[in-house]
Amino acid sequence: MLVIVSVSRLDNDRIEVGVARPQHDSNPTHNYPSEKEARAVLSDFGISEETIASHLKLLAQMGAAVKIPADGCSAKRFAV
């Protein structure tokens, strides 16, 4: 199953994590008050710490949304 994970920093400094399943027209999002909480959720999805760190760093530099590539995820833990 194809799943696209995106991370955005909101105006109120919260971090929004989106998980899209295009084949089901599903795109739920949830926002977290801290980077620590967002990291924990992304880690629970099976995304490596290295991938999380690099994308959150990129997010801080760009101030926009970033998508996490599938190669940064553990497919076994990513079943939704």
Cα–chain-centroid distance for residue 19? Answer: 7
pLDDT of amino acid 78: 39
Q: Average pLDDT for residues 24-51, to the nearest whole number?
A: 87
- pLDDT at 27 > cutoff 90: no
Give which of 18, 19, 8, 16 is closest to 60, Cα–Cα.
8
Q: Is a pLDDT exceeding 60 seen at residue 50?
A: yes
Q: Which residue has the higher pLDDT, 26 or 46?
A: 46
The secondary structure of the chain, three-state, reads CCCEEEEEECCCCCEEEEEEEHHHCECCEEEECCHHHHHHHHHHCCECHHHHHHHHHHHHHHCCCEEECHHHECHHHHCC
Tokens of 12: 């109120």
